[in-house]
A and B are shown apart, each in its own frame.
Chain A
């Protein structure tokens, strides 16, 4: 078995009659933190949805853990350890924090370990523990993002797909969320991070892909992308 955990081969996805993703190749090795950056509408979220089986592929294949998982429904992939934290966090607003976490662990059967994991994520997010009996809808945006990550962690994923975790958050919260992402990566979880905030993403990632109008235009080590003149001009702007 190779070191590659997730591989997209010539993946194209049409969305509402538009070719949103036009045949991209992308690889993530075990233990890597890879980011996918690009402007709004570049096809980043569509790519993630395609990986998770939420959107059908027009062409191409998706391999996960050495197996072809093209077109498998989302719930099966979670059971294989591939979890997505969706854009906009995807809270169950009327469910309590405890219940949201229970749902995160839905695919698992090892109850005693689940209880330990709840304590583990609460250690990571003490804020959530204080409010465990409250409904998720009462949390602030940042807290909801924390809960979304915590909930995804409850499935004990081998790979986490994060869609715009910084979106709509105050700068201080963004920092906290990214610290958490690094913590999760430290635990050995492979991460594919989709972000509009290119600087932030490239700072934490090992490697990066740049998407433009449905195509991957640049790929490489995060540190070299960070110093690539084209990237600097297009995405980092004044961050000189």
Chain B
């Protein structure tokens, strides 16, 4: 039972990060029906920029409190990522707005490679140990001494994600800018007739998604304690899968999808070994029983298969419910 609780805590933490990244995919898709596959790289850049700031500040004498260092690093990464997000749209996607859909998709993949290589040049190809400016403190969740715990970092990640999600919902559903965003998403031409500068709204959407990505990058790298120029690739794909799971284009869907994806991954990694342990079948074969006496862990799959779950989910969703959990049924609209 403790494994379950522990994996749940890990899953919610991971899921919060996925949800924040998934929001970036879903907002852009909602407004221009483009899968911005370079979004994961924006997350990576956020982590990298923050890394450099943390190293610089921590090396400068360490007079600043840890939380301040992390805050300054994140607040530096946010504008940098916003500019990158803005430029991606302005330079690469906007000229292709009227092109066949495959063109911007391929462009997105190309941009992803370009950004990875820029990061490789700046931050080398080595995994960078992410400075743990905040000492990890575990809090016990159960009475048992080696039971499930939640750390202060996990609490911070979950809390910050909730605040950002609430802020985004307020922005989208309670402000004039948010209404304009939704109007452009629904009918860009009519939005133009209302005096809305569609290009500005689209730029702002990219910048907003990139700002979230920057924070997600810092959270992810802080959580795993490592940053790498390729870290955005898998993270991005999983977050994209989460957005599809929730229903791409739907904000609440991205949040739900992200959270579910995190939990599926954590619980999957936690139990896959146990579930595929061939020693459960000892009764069927004497040879197997013999082997299991010496080694009771004859597991077909280990937790190194954790990355598989996201994509199994993606495939299942695409086969059985392509519109996602909260997505609207796709109807033919003129």
Contacts and interface: CB of A to CB of B under 8 A. Distances in A.
Nearest to A54: B189
B192 interface: yes
B186 A106 contact: no
A92 interface: yes
B196 interface: yes
B192 A103 contact: no
B193 interface: yes
Contacts of B194: 75, 78, 103-104, 106-107, 151, 155
A99 B176 CA distance: 9
Contact of B190 (A92, A107, A155): A92
Contacts, number: 65
A92 B187 contact: yes
B178 to A, nearest CB: 9
Contacts of A94: 182, 186
Interface string B180-221: 101100110111111111100000000000000000000000
A92 B193 contact: no
B193 A84 contact: yes
A75 B186 contact: no
Interface size class of B (residues with CB under 8 A): 10 to 19
A43 interface: no
B176 to A, nearest CB: 6
A111 B293 CA distance: 78
Size band of the interface chain A makes with B:
20 to 34
A211 B187 CA distance: 29
A90 B190 contact: yes
Among B187, B192, B196: residue with most chain A CB under 10 A: B192
Interface in A138-164: 151, 155
A93 B179 contact: no
Nearest to A155: B195
Contact of A107 (B186, B187, B195): B195
Given A92-B182, A92-B183, A99-B179, A106 B195 contact: yes
A103 B192 CA distance: 10
A75 B188 CA distance: 11
Interface in B66-101: none
A104 B194 CA distance: 5
Interface of B, helix, strand, loop or mixed by DSSP: helix
A95 B183 contact: yes
Interface string A84-127: 10101011111100010011101100000000000000000000
Contacts of B195: 75, 78-79, 106-107, 155
B179 to A, nearest CB: 5
B186 A93 contact: yes
A205 to B, nearest CB: 23
B186 A92 contact: yes
Contacts of B186: 92-95
Interface in A22-59: 52, 54
A95 B196 CA distance: 15
A188 interface: no
Contacts of B176: 102, 106
B140 to A, nearest CB: 46
A106 B178 CA distance: 12
B187 A74 contact: no
Contacts of A88: 334
A3 interface: no
A83 B192 contact: no
A151 B191 CA distance: 12
A103 to B, nearest CB: 5
A66 interface: no
B193 A52 contact: yes
Given A94-B186, A95-B182, A106-B176, 7 more contacts: A54-B189, A74-B193, A91-B190, A92-B183, A92-B191, A102-B176, A103-B183
29 contacts: A52-B193, A54-B189, A54-B192, A54-B193, A73-B192, A74-B192, A75-B192, A75-B196, A75-B197, A75-B198, A78-B195, A83-B193, A86-B189, A86-B190, A86-B193, A91-B190, A92-B182, A92-B183, A92-B190, A94-B182, A99-B179, A103-B180, A103-B183, A103-B194, A103-B196, A104-B194, A106-B194, A106-B196, A155-B194
Interface of A: 52, 54, 73-75, 78-79, 83-84, 86, 88, 90-95, 99, 102-104, 106-107, 151, 155
Among all A-B residue pairs, the 7 with the closest Cβ atoms: A107-B195, A78-B195, A90-B190, A74-B192, A103-B194, A106-B195, A99-B179
